[in-house]
């Protein structure tokens, strides 16, 4: 019988390689634009052949290495389990479908409901974010930290948007962020948006509703990099999503007021 620490260490060792392999497959699709097979799941909700293919690869590799583990994925669904991998094969699918390189593979692992490990890989920049709870966060092996920004007039804030919430809610938050003197942006990958807060490239990421596969990895990476995060998995967050806010500690209070989190 393997103890919990060893169990988590084994998955941590596997996860980086898995993210790189999945990212390489996604990149091959990205570079072969004629085979993308873009369809729409809803307004501004893109799907490509690559989403299904990359998620199938992730599910296969988890089943081979850890046959007792469950997977919850954006395309194939899934549910809570003692050992759960939460995967988004391509986060930033709208960017991916339009040929813009800001997208990533996101893989999180939870044990008994606790987010333990996260990996986010952006193939176009060859950047791999990795973190294990209690073990710090890295980009390509180097430690990362959230920014020390304490003044909203120096801050850059990413406000995420999806058609799952009214446009007026989004506009209100953007207005508040700009009126506080910050630079408001949107780059359309929630997972990378959170990784960038962890990396000090932006100062906060918020979105009124986002799904667990978009944030499961990023939340571990951000906490390990010293960022403030809301309790995203409260209530039914795993199955139905929740609001998310990830912020550098110095702007967390201001952003909590603006995002209402
Ligand atoms: C979407 C992206 C987007 C966020 C949406 C997500 P997808 O995920 O992360 O940035 O604003 O809420 O649904 O569809 O690209 O995997």
pLDDT of residue 235: 96
Give me the helices (H) in 78-208, please: 93-98, 167-179, 190-198
Q: What is the pLDDT of residue 128?
A: 98
State residue 55's pLDDT score: 97
Higher-confidence position of 42 and 217 = 217
Residue 58 contacts residue 213 (beta carbons within 8 Å): no
Q: How much is the pLDDT for 43?
A: 77
For the residues 165-186, what does the mean pLDDT come to? 97
CA distances to 5, 8, 87, 143 from 135, rounded to whole Å, are 12, 12, 21, 10
The residue-averaged pLDDT of 12-27 equals: 97
Pocket of ligand 1 contains residue 74 by CB under 6 Å: yes
How many angstroms separate the CA atoms of 182 and 172, rounded?
A: 14
What does the pLDDT look like over 82-112, one tens digit per residue? 999 999 999 999 999 999 999 999 999 999 9
Q: Is the CB of 162 under 6 A from ligand 1?
A: yes
What pLDDT shows up at residue 42? Answer: 81
> What is the pLDDT, as a whole number, of residue 39?
82
DSSP code at position 176: H
Mean pLDDT computed over every residue of the chain: 96
Domains and CATH numbers, the chain: 4-143 (3.30.540.10), 152-259 (3.40.190.80)
* Res 40: pLDDT: 84
How many Å lie between the centroid of ligand 1 and the Cα of residue 92?
A: 6
Instruction: Give mean pLDDT, residues 8-32.
Output: 97
Give mean pLDDT, residues 141-169.
Answer: 96
* pLDDT tens-place string over residues 48-66: 889 999 999 999 999 999 9
Looking at ligand 1, which atom is closest to the CA of residue 160?
11
Q: Is the pLDDT of residue 44 over 80?
A: no
Report pLDDT for 112.
96
Residue 161 pLDDT:
95
User: With 0-12 CB in 10 A as exposed, 13-18 as middle and 19+ as buried, what is 199?
Assistant: buried
Please name the residue whose Cα sits nearest to atom 8 of ligand 1.
91
């Amino acid at each position: 019988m393997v103890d919990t620490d060893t169990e988590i260490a084994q998955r941590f060792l596997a996860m980086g390689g898995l993210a790189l392999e999945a990212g390489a497959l996604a990149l091959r699709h990205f570079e072969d634009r004629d085979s993308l097979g873009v369809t729409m799941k809803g307004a501004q909700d893109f799907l490509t052949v690559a989403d299904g293919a990359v998620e199938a690869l992730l599910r296969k590799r988890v089943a081979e290495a850890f046959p007792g583990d469950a997977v919850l994925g954006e395309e194939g669904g899934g549910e809570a389990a003692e050992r759960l991998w939460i995967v988004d094969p391509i986060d930033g699918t709208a960017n991916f479908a339009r040929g813009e390189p800001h997208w990533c593979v996101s893989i999180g692992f939870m044990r008994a409901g606790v987010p333990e490990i996260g990996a986010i890989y952006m193939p176009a920049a060859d950047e791999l974010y990795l973190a294990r709870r209690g073990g710090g966060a890295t980009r390509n092996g180097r430690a990362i930290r959230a920014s020390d920004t304490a003044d909203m007039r120096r801050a850059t804030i990413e406000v995420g948007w999806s058609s799952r919430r009214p446009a007026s809610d989004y506009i209100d938050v953007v207005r508040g962020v700009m009126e506080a003197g910050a630079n408001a942006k949107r780059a359309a990958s929630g997972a990378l948006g959170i990784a960038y807060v962890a990396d000090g490239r932006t100062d906060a990421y918020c979105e009124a509703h986002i799904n667990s596969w978009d944030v499961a990895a990023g939340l571990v990476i951000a906490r390990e990099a010293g960022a403030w995060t809301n309790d995203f998995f409260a209530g039914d967050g795993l199955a139905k999503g929740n609001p998310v806010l990830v912020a550098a500690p110095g702007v967390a209070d201001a952003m909590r007021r603006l995002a209402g989190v």
